[in-house]
Structure formats: structure tokens, C-alpha cells
Amino acid sequence: MSQQGDRPATTDDWWGRLYDESARDTGPAGTPDDTIDDRFDSAADTLGGGDDLPSTRTYGHAVDAIAVADDEDDAGDDEDEGVGPASRPPAWWESPGGRPVTRTPAPAPESAPAPAPEPSVPTPAPVAPAPLTPRPRAPWEPPPAAFDPTDPAADPTPPPAPPPAAPRDPRAADPRPPAPAPPPPAPAPAARISHVGDSPPTYEAEPTALPAADAEELDQLVADTVLDGARYGTYTLRAASLRGDSARYRGEPRRDALLTARFGAGPGALVLVAVATGARATEGAHLSAADACRWIGGAVGRSHSRLAEDIRAGRRGDLKSGLHRLTDRTYGKLRARAAELGRDPEEYTASLRCLLLSADPDCRTRVFFGVGGGGLFRLRDGAWQDLEPLVPEPSAIRGAPVVGYGSVPTGAGAATEQTPDGDRLTMDLEITKAPGPLVEEPVPPPPEPFRFRASVARPGDTLLLTSVGLAEPLRGVPALGDELAARWADGELPGLATYLADVALRAKGYADDRTAVGVWEA
């Protein structure tokens, strides 16, 4: 049996000659040029000169020639053994999964007969492809496209378009409620200014230096700013007191004092707000202002029931006389305190201005009283009104003539010597009078008169009680009053921080302490 199966060996069997042990080795040549052509020449020499093979130097053509010769031998052997082409196993190039080989027949010489046609190979029946199984994507593989045919979940068919809506009759009513219109954009808040006038004030707006302190008298220190507020009945109260720019720069204490107090409870309660300012350029001015607020507060607190009843009943005469007595007692205590300290009464004194407000919602009477400078204003219908009570000048204050004292001038324009009842006013006996006492020191100026005013508030009014430090710029700088009126005329109540910023609105040339009490009527 030969090496090719049951086929008998012949003398021209090139396979046997190729693997004959007596043949020389056809391994790699000794020269470095071991190419495909050299190996082909070596194989041709081994087979006996290579006369039966085409003399070509192309590797692909040589393979085709060998393949054609092998096919002819296989075809003859298969016919001899009775094995048809369909019963033999397919070659590697005929298998469906093998490598495709291009069959290029070698050119035959003109004298050689045409080669026999190659037996046909039946075409295998088509086999249905197995269903594709998705596999996970490896990390180095790119992501799939928008549609992957191997993905069973992918559907290349686009979703059906929705059917067109039927035309709606414009005359038919829409059952859906109309969409609400978007609200208009809120206007941007206007930037608040910190001062009025053509140029900024001289001093800085924030505190710079603290007042000097004594370790044994720490209770005499006052804060830079005091802020308070409340709401009773139909009004809202805001109160603020702060050091002026000049005192903040020099490290001086605040000369203004502020007291807010409530006496009693319920509708019969009484609210007192007192503002005092110590004398300028005097030592301990902040102490005299604090004493004035404390003593007037104590006097009102002890009589708050009677005062609240008079306010609700509208007894203005009783209120004026009673509050005048309480104010005189307060200043009497200040003079006594000055005597204890060994100081003049004019040095240890203060201006005092107060507001009395009833907590009864049905009572809209607002009572003001006090002594000294300051301001009382009312904002009504967007315009300021100055409610400061008018007082006569000290030089215009003259008492009524006293009957029986002095002589009656004679001559032209002289008064009559008789009364309407026929009584003589005087009698001139031509007696020389002794000269009056010699006064070497100037007569002290008369004390400032007592101020009182009771007014009925209207809804929307704003009552403003101020010390001298804010009253003067309100009267001297119209732009300051206009700015505050614009801020408070919208009816919105300012919070404590906003109110403090409004009161601190500065103007060049006015650097004193500021204290302001605002009452907003509902």
C-alpha cells in the first residue's frame, strides 16, 4: 500500500520520489538567498528535472500547476476505484469554511491536447442560518451605532407617526381653562443713597474711635446706636438713636438719650418715648440726658393711669397742666443734681421731648410735650408738615401791668388816670423815690417755655419726633426730607434695620447725634 491510500505505486509517482530515503535533502540552501524561487527549483530537481511542470517563476502559478496535476490524478484514481466525485471527501479548498483558492490553469503548449474538463461538484443544499446570539462588547471594541442589526432589541422600524388632529371648529368653546398670563417682571429695586447733597460729608459714615472708659464708672458708658420698636393699637413704633459723625471721629460719647417704656396692660396701657440731648461742649452731657429721660419716665409711670384716661377722654387742658408739672419736677431734679456735683445748672441740663401713645385701638390722639430744641413733623399725603408748637421770643414775653405799682406817664398818649369804673390808677404825690438795687451781674435768660401739642392721627400718617441733630438738616436741606418722603410714602412699614439706614441718611455740614421716633398709622 502506498502513502496515498489504496492507490498502487508507479515508477512516475512523484510523491514516493519526494520522500525516498535515498534522495538528497532538499532543506534550506547554504546560501543566504533562500527564496521561494530557490525552493521551487530544488523541488523541481528532486522530481527529475521538472520537465513535466510548467517553467514558470511565479509562486502562485506553480501552485496552480501542481493543483491541476493533482486534480487529474485524483480524478483518474477515483474512476478506477469506483468512487464518484460526490462520495469523496471534499478538499480543504472546497469546504465551505476553507480558504478560497483561485484556480488559474497553466498555459499548455500548442502541441499538447486540451485538458479534460474538471468534474462538477454538486452544490450543497442551502442551510438556514442559526439565530444570532448577542454577545457582550469587549472593552477595546467601539460602541455600537444607533442601530445594530445583531441586537435583537433594536428595531429599525421608526415609530408610527401620530394621526393628524381633526380640525377644530373655531366657533366651538374650548373646554380647557385659558392659561394664566405670566406675571410682569418685578422692577429692579432702586439703589439706596447714603447721603444727600452735591458732595459727601466730611467724616466717615462708620464709627472710628470709642469713648474713653473709667474702670470704676463703667455704668456711665453708652452704646453708639440704640434701636427699638413696637406695635400697639393702630400704630407701629420705630425708634433709633446714633452717634453723629463728629462724635464717632473724635471718640466722644453720644449726647442723645432714648427711652421707650410701656406702663400698664391692655387698652389702658400707655407708651412713653422720651428723647433728651445734653448741653453741647459740657462734661457729662450724656449723663444729664440719661437722667432727664429716667426721671420723666418715673414721673409718667407713677401717673400713667390718670394720663391714659385723660388722653382717651380728650382732656387737653388737664393733660397740659399735668405734664407741665411733671416736666418742672424733672428739671428741678436736674438742678439739684448739678448742685451735688458742684456745677452750674446750665451745664448739667438737657433738652427733653416726649410722646405719649395710648394702646387703645379706638384712641388716635397723640400727645407731645417737652422743653428745648428739636423737631416734630408729620408726613401726610406725601408732604411734610412742621408741627412744632410756636413759642414767643423771650424778649417779647411781658407781664400784665400790676395795679398800684409804678407811675402812670403823663402828657400826650398817656393813659387815663381812671378805670372804666371811675377809680384812679395811681396818685403822684411828687415824693422822691429811692434808687433801685445795683445789679452788677447780667440777669440770667428766662427758661425755655414748655411745649405741648395734642393731635388726632389719620390712617396713613407718619409722625416723626426728632432731636436737634436731625431736625436741623430736615429744615435746612429739602433734599433730605424729599428722600425720606419717597421712602416712606408707599405705605410699607420699614423694618428696624431699614429704619436705621433711613435715619442715618447724611447731609454735608450736619454731623451731630441723631435720634428719631417714627409712628406709622395703620
Residues 6+ apart with CB under 8 A from 508: 195, 197, 198, 199, 200, 201, 202
Task: Report the chain (522 residues): mean pLDDT per 10 consecutive residues.
Answer: 50 56 54 66 64 47 44 44 50 52 50 53 54 59 56 58 64 65 70 74 85 90 95 95 93 95 95 96 92 96 96 94 95 94 92 97 96 95 91 56 41 46 46 49 65 94 96 94 91 90 91 96 92
Q: Torsion angle of alpha carbons 268, 273, 274, 277, nearest 10°?
A: 180
Q: Please report the pLDDT score of residue 398 as a whole number.
A: 52
Q: Please report the pLDDT score of residue 156 as a whole number.
A: 56
For cell 521561494, the residue is: 36
Q: Please report the pLDDT score of residue 264 as a whole number.
A: 95
Q: Please report the pLDDT score of residue 8 as a whole number.
A: 54
How many other β-carbons are positioned within 10 Å of the β-carbon of residue 124?
A: 8
| For the chain, counts of helices (H) and of strands (E) | 10, 13
Q: Could you give the percent of the chain with pLDDT greater than 70?
A: 56
Whether the CB-CB separation of 284 and 217 falls below 8 Å is answered with no
Q: Please report the pLDDT score of residue 71 as a whole number.
A: 45
Q: Please report the pLDDT score of residue 146 as a whole number.
A: 52
Summarize pLDDT for 357-378 with one digit per residue, the tens: 999 999 999 999 999 999 999 9
Estimate to the nearest angstrom the gap between the alpha carbon of 444 and the chain centroid.
60
DSSP code of residue 510: B
Question: How many Å apart are CA 150 and CA 41, to the nearest integer?
Answer: 51
Residues 6+ apart with CB under 8 A from 507: 195, 196, 197, 201, 473, 477, 479, 480
Amino acid occupying residue 119: P
Domains, the chain: 195-388+449-521 (3.60.40.10)
Q: Could you give the percent of the chain with pLDDT greater than 90?
A: 44
DSSP H/E element including 226 = strand 225-232
**pTM higher than 0.85, yes or no?**
no
Q: Please report the pLDDT score of residue 311 as a whole number.
A: 96
For cell 472710628, the residue is: 208
Task: Return the C-alpha cell found at 128.
Answer: 438556514
Q: Which of 318, 283, 281 is nearest to 303 (CA)?
A: 318
Question: How many Å apart are CA 145 and CA 369, to the nearest integer?
Answer: 90
Estimate to the nearest angstrom the gap between the alpha carbon of 209 and the chain centroid.
32
